[in-house]
Amino acid sequence: MPAFGFVADDLTGAADVLAQSHRYGLEAALVIGDAPLPADTDVVGFAGPARSLSGTAFDNLVSRDLAGIAALNLEVLLYKVCSTFDSSITVGSIGRGIQLLHEQFALHGAIPVVPAQPGFGRYTAFSNHYATHAGQIYRLDRHPVMSQHPSTPMHEADLRLVLAEQLGGGEVPAAIHLPAYDDGAFKDAWADRRREPGAQAFVVDAVDERQMDAVAEALTREEHGHGPSIVVGSGGIMAALARSISDQAPRTPGPQQPSGPVLAVSASASSTTAEQINDALSRGWEDVPVPAELLQDHDGAAVAALDERVSAALQSGRNVVVHTTRGAGDPRYGVTGPVDAGYVGALIGGIAARMAGAGLTRDIAVFGGDTSSHALIAMGVSQLRVSDQFVTAGPILRADGASAVAGCRLLLKGGQVGPTDILRRFAGQISG
């Protein structure tokens, strides 16, 4: 039976959980929708599009997944959120997720919130969150991308204040700050925060792997009379948990060998993704932009025309990039503004499903954290496992045999993930 479980608020984040588990030799699987959880793993969990949802749709999805995971006798449950913590009161609310955790696990006590992932350039110091971009470290509210996120722009770096707003009631959560790791106060501080009467959550600093390992130790040493230890955090937590029970050296990426032309579908407005798309197009990949008018309203003829372009390019042996935008400065984005993640995810996922179903590609990349879950649902995927390590937070995945992309090599990439040449690496055009 699994030792660790997770409920992830988007699919690329869940892929990172799988990657960190696999890296340290653990078997992991994620389930999409209401398919049964497999029992032949060390780590298992649900992933869905909660990060792009609000209101009743958010509550229903998260509550369903938490009820499903509660049936397992887990040691630790991770509520996986993005390591850049992007959310709002109305969209993908992490605070609301914490409230739903308390509804499912009423006896747990205050829940630690630990989004740091030092190996990925995500740090929390004195409750303020930081993330790297283009080799520089930025406070979250000054981050060039996250401060301008199209649906959940982050205008506050202090996670206590972000959570206070999302949890409501006006109470600012407590915290464990960096000095506690070195002055011997961490274990007592953890116990005190967990027992604080009426508290829903507390923020935990971390800027290196040693500190993440201390968090993992605190989680795994707790008593489990009332269900699993619960933590809200990123793939950094899963990496630390995996290290805590693994005796294997970390796995490293292997060479990538596609079986034919690669299809990448992207609905990410991130500037990082735009650079990755531009890199591929500058090296001869087929450019297939989704027309602006199709981003708002379904048009069967326009979709058929897209399919025809993609099909012709793949049949000629060319790698293809289908994209809804190349950064927030794309004229299409300026015309349409933010788009519905469910609709756009289903649009690009449908294209990939049809191309795979026609046997035109066995190598598919899906870019976009908010839209990836919707794209995989459109492909009929109900379960994913890791085939190989690749880039940080972006492993090579395989889907269940009943999906439209069964047998394909899959890469799921969030907006901020990966090197500029990630598509050419995935296509085996360069090594790295």
Cα distance between residue 165 and residue 125, in whole Å:
20
201, 299: one domain: no
Do 298 and 414 have their domain in common? yes
Contact indicator for 55, 27 with CB cutoff of 8 Å: no
Residues sharing a CB contact under 8 Å with residue 330, sequence separation 6 or more, in sequence order: 269, 274
Hey, which residues does 139 pair with through a beta bridge? Answer: 130
Reduced to 3 states (helix: H, G, I; strand: E, B; else coil), residue 391 is strand
CATH of the domain at 207: 3.40.50.10840
- At 12-54, the pLDDT tens digits run 889 999 999 999 999 999 999 888 899 899 999 999 889 989 9
* Structural element, H or E, at residue 219: helix 209-221
DSSP letter (8 states) at residue 250: P
In a domain, 101, yes or no: yes
- pLDDT by position in tens, the chain (length 432): 689 999 999 888 899 999 999 999 999 999 998 888 998 999 999 998 899 899 999 999 999 999 999 999 999 999 999 999 989 999 999 999 999 999 999 999 999 999 999 999 999 999 999 999 888 999 999 999 888 887 788 999 999 999 999 999 888 999 999 999 999 999 999 999 999 999 999 999 999 999 999 999 999 998 766 789 999 999 999 999 999 999 889 999 988 999 999 999 999 988 899 999 999 999 999 999 999 999 888 899 999 999 999 999 999 999 999 999 998 788 887 665 667 889 999 999 999 999 999 999 999 999 988 788 889 999 999 999 999 999 988 999 999 999 999 999 999 998 888 999 999 999 999 876
Token digits for 109?
Answer: 């006590």
Per the structure, the count of domains in the chain is 2
Q: Containing domain of residue 398, as a range?
A: 262-426
211 and 293 belong to one structural domain: no
- For residues 48 and 193, membership in a common domain is answered with yes
Question: Taking a C-beta distance cutoff of 8 angstroms, is the pair 51, 82 a contact?
Answer: yes
Over residues 85-124, the pLDDT tens digits come to: 989 999 999 999 999 999 999 999 999 999 999 999 999 9
432 inside domain: no
The residue out of 192, 217, 245 marking a domain boundary is 245
Please say whether the beta carbons of 75 and 37 come within 8 A. Answer: no
CA angle 355, 22, 105 (to 5 degrees): 100
Answer yes or no: is 88 within a domain: yes
Same domain, 309 and 209: no
340 and 200 inside one domain = no
Last residue of one domain, picked from the residues 214, 245, 276: 245
The per-residue DSSP string of 351-369 comes to HHHHHHHTTS-SEEEEE-H
- Domain of 328, CATH number, reads 3.40.980.20
Residues 302/308, Cβ–Cβ less than 8 Å: no
Shared domain for 232 and 277, answered yes or no, is: no
Range list of H helices, 183-340: 186-195, 209-221, 235-245, 271-282, 300-315, 331-336
* Rounded Cα–Cα distance for residues 295 and 283 (Å): 27
Does residue 171 belong to any structural domain of this protein?
yes
Q: Are residues 157 and 14 in the same domain?
A: yes
Sign of CA dihedral 174, 179, 185, 187: positive
Helix and strand numbers, DSSP H then E, in the chain: 14, 18
Rounded to whole angstroms, the Cα distance separating 166 from 153 reads: 14
Same domain for 213 and 84:
yes
Query: Are 156 and 221 part of one and the same domain?
Result: yes
Query: 211 with 334, same domain?
Result: no
Q: From CA 53, how far away is CA 329, in angstroms rounded?
A: 24
Residue type, 398: R
**First vs last C-alpha separation in the chain:** 35
- The reply to whether 253 falls in a domain is no
User: Token pair of 287, please?
Assistant: 């450019």
Please indicate, yes or no, if residue 252 is contained in any of the structural domains.
no
Q: At 404, is the secondary structure helix, strand, or coil? A: coil
pTM value is 0.91
> Is residue 251 one of the residues assigned to a domain?
no
Statement to judge: residues 297 and 231 lie in one domain:
no
Interatomic CA distance for residues 353 and 364, integer angstroms: 10
- List the Cα angle 359/362/367 in 5-degree steps: 120
Q: How far is CA 29 from CA 200, 349, 400, in A?
A: 29, 21, 10
Query: Rounded to whole angstroms, how far apart are CA atoms 352 and 372?
Result: 12
431 inside domain = no
